[in-house]
Structure formats: C-alpha cells, structure tokens
Structure 1
Amino acid sequence: MKAWLIERFGTGWLETWKEIKEHPVPPHALNPIYCLGGLTFLSFLIQAVTGIILALYYRPTPEEAYASIQFIMEQVSFGAMIRSVHHYAANIMVLLVMLHMLRVFYTGSFKKPRELNWVVGVLLYLLTLAFGFTGYLLPWDQVAYWASVVGTEIMGGIPVIGKYLMILARGGLKVTEFTLTRFYVAHVIILPLLAILLMGLHFLMVRLQGISEEL
C-alpha cells in the first residue's frame, strides 16, 4: 500500500506525516484542562455520526417530523439510544466549549500572537449554540415550537437588523413549516460546513503557533 501511494504521489506526504507524528507535545498538554478542546472536537464527531444516522430516518415536514422521531425512538434498532447520545453529546459539547474558552481566557492564551485563534474560537462557540437552537425545533412538538418562537423573538430584539434576522430565520413573520425547513438545512448542511471550515483554521493555527504555555 505504501509503495502504491509513493508511486502515485511521491514521498512529500511521507515527510509531512512524519513531521506531524514526531512533533513534540509539551508535558502540560496532558493536563486535563488543556484537553478540553480535543474533548469538544470528540463531542462534535459523536454528534456528526449520530446525526447522520438520525437523518436517515428523519423527515423534515410538519406532517411527518414528529412521527419520524417516534419511529426512530420505538422501531429503529438502537434508535432511542442513538437519539439520546445525540441529545446528551450536544449538551456536553456546549459545556466543554465554554470550559475550553474559560481556560483560554484564564491562562491568557487569547493574547498576541493567538488573538485571531481566539476570534475563531468565539465563532465556533456561537456555531455550537446555533447547532443547539436549530436542532431543538426538529422534533416539531409543542415544546420545540414555542421555544423557537421565543428564541426568534429574542433575535428580533437586536437593534436595527433584528426584525430582518427574525424573518430570515423564520421564513416569514411566524414560525411555520418554512421555519422547520430552514432550521433543518442550517442544522445538517450550513452549520456543519462552517464548523468544519473554522475548526480547520483553528487546528491549523494551533499547529503553527503551538500549545500555549502553562501558567
């Protein structure tokens, strides 16, 4: 296999892989508080895997959304477990990203030359909240519906642009089937693509700048 790859792509990728594999990790990186970013990424991977499985059975229409959730919970093999893992991993991910940002702030790791990485981290935190908000509506039950009404009303309270953001999110003046479609598309396509892009930038900057020094 290695010879097959070398024949087609040369040996440059081997040098790159060797450099990554042998790059020294500072001892303090094994401190649990410096592992919060990696645990957040692990939560995201769990969300991605369980979310893909759930998407195989979920139907994003007002008539079928709730019924499809019931089908997943009651008839799909391990469906209830997969949905529970998806639900709890989402909550854990929010907690971990908050703790990660608190650690970065406490240790001063947001300062020069890592200020751009801090901005990317803040954007990832906002994306994490957006994942939770858009996903909450998908069961299309009473709790999800009214939570989305309240959430979009809060969005509408933003000065100047709030009303336009609310209409954009809802697909109109009220929470309707168009809101469900928009939240579903955002949850499974738009937000994951943005998250992957920002995480790639985040990891690249960590790789170039190294892990911040321990206090």
Structure 2
Amino acid sequence: MLNKIYDWVDERLDITPLWRDIADHEVPEHVNPAHHFSAFVYCFGGLTFFVTVIQILSGMFLTMYYVPDIKNAWESVYYLQNHVAFGQIVRGMHHWGASLVIVMLFLHTLRVFFQGAYKKPRELNWVVGVLIFFIMLALGLTGYLLPWDMKALFATKVTMQIIESVPLIGVYLKTLIAGSADIVGAQTITRFFAIHVFFLPAALFALLAAHFVMIRKQGISGPL
C-alpha cells in the first residue's frame, strides 16, 4: 500500500532524486563512533535538533488547551495536566525539554568552539548558530511566564527590571515586550504568548534552515 502511494507521488513529483541525494550523502569517517570513540561529540547537534522537534510537537499540543489571559492561563494548564489524557506527560516533556535543549545546544557550541569548527569557511554558520542559541534562550524566557503561577510572575518581574536597566532604551524596550512600563499583567502574558508561539519559532525555522543548508554545502568539520 505504501509503495503504491509512493510510486503515485513519485510519478508526479519525481521525489526519488531528492531523498536519495540526502540518504546517499557520505558521512566522514571521523564522526563514526565505530571507528573513533570521540565521534560521540558530533552527536550534540543532532540531539539538539531532536529535542527541538519534541519541543515543537509538544508545544503544538499544549496550545490546543492553553488560554493566554490572566484569568484562565493557570486554570487551563491545571486542566491540561490533570484532566487531559497524557497531558501531564506532554507538559512534562515540554517543561524538561526546555532545559535539556539549552544544555544540548551549549554542549554543541562548546564542541564547535574547542574543535575550531567556526573558522573559515564556516564563520557565517557560527554566527547563525549563536543566533539560534539566543533564540532558544528567548523561547525559554517567554515560555516561563505562561503557566502564570507565582514563581513565573516574580521571575518575569526580575527579567523586566533587568531589561529596564538597559541604558537609554530600557524603558521603551520593557514597554514593547511587556506591554506596560509599570506592571506585569494581561498585556504581558498576551505578548509573551505571541512572541513564544509565533515570532520566535518563525525566526528559529529560518535560522535552522540556513544552518542546515550551510552544513550540507560546507560539510561536517574535520577532527581537532
């Protein structure tokens, strides 16, 4: 059945050369754990992407139940965790995955730095990777407020105070992000939700696409 569907699609779109080009792409010997024990450090990038996919899928599930306003945010999270089938598991995956993806991305960045993989001709890819790192941090920051509990509220207030301390533009930047220069409230949670679900993922997808295109074009960096 699957073969017939594939043949039907392939006859019209000629997809075989596309996936064969990916599947037949040779992997350098130094990243093969069977030949080099140190090759496991090259897995950090792939593991980071794997956790990112889990974050995206679990986040899509959470948005089907989450209500981004101060009256219903906490109740919607409580309902999801206690009354939706597998809701507690999915939320737990998203919660712990938010920390795990930062850890994996940090390890991947250390590998690239200490092995000199950021040098010519991969300087631009290093810049893209650093931008991805900042996007991930911003995703963690904006997502932290969404459960709307006391810990998230006070942590966000501290974050807003840090942003406000930026010279010259601090107050304006805080107002732009939080929706108010005075309080963390309804506008803040709405804006954080929009930034977390729409703006940052769009930037992340664009950067990841550029990252993978450059990796494919330049190849995996050589050993130390």
TM-score tier after normalising by the smaller chain length: over 0.9
Tell me, yes or no, if the aligned pair for 1:28 and 1:34 is still in contact at 8 Å: no
Instruction: Summarize the alignment of residues 57-96 of structure 1 with structure 2, pairs less than 5 Å apart.
Output: 57-96=65-104
Instruction: Summarize the alignment of residues 152-171 of structure 1 with structure 2, pairs less than 5 Å apart.
Output: 152-171=160-179
Question: How many Å separate the matches in 1 of 2:204 and 2:222?
Answer: 26
Q: CA deviation at 1:158?
A: 2.0
Partner of residue 8, structure 1: 12
Question: How many Å separate the matches in 2 of 1:24 and 1:7?
Answer: 27
Question: How many Å separate the matches in 2 of 1:107 and 1:44?
Answer: 24
**CA deviation vs aligned residue, 1:171-193 (integer Å, no higher than 9, x gap):** 11121100000000111111111
Partner of residue 22, structure 2: 20
**3-state DSSP class of the match of 1:160?**
coil
* Alignment counterpart, residue 201 of structure 2, candidates 186, 189, 192: 192
TM-score, structure 1 length as denominator?
0.95
Q: CA deviation at 1:159?
A: 2.4
CA RMSD of aligned residues (A): 1.3
* Alignment counterpart, residue 219 of structure 2, candidates 207, 210, 213: 210
Tell me, yes or no, if structure 1 residue 123 matches structure 2 residue 126: no
Amino acid at match of 1:200: A
Q: CA deviation at 1:2?
A: 4.2
Q: Which runs of 5+ in 1 are unaligned?
A: none
**CA deviation vs aligned residue, 1:138-176 (integer Å, no higher than 9, x gap):** 011111111111112111222232222111111111211
Question: How many Å separate the matches in 2 of 1:155 and 1:98?
Answer: 23
Partner of residue 58, structure 2: 50
Amino acid at match of 1:73: Q
Q: CA deviation at 1:82?
A: 1.1
**CA deviation vs aligned residue, 1:45-92 (integer Å, no higher than 9, x gap):** 111111111111111110000111111111111111111111111100
Q: CA deviation at 1:6?
A: 4.1
Q: Which runs of 5+ in 2 are unaligned?
A: 33-38
**3-state DSSP class of the match of 1:35?**
helix
Q: CA deviation at 1:23?
A: 1.1
**CA deviation vs aligned residue, 1:81-104 (integer Å, no higher than 9, x gap):** 111111111100010111111110
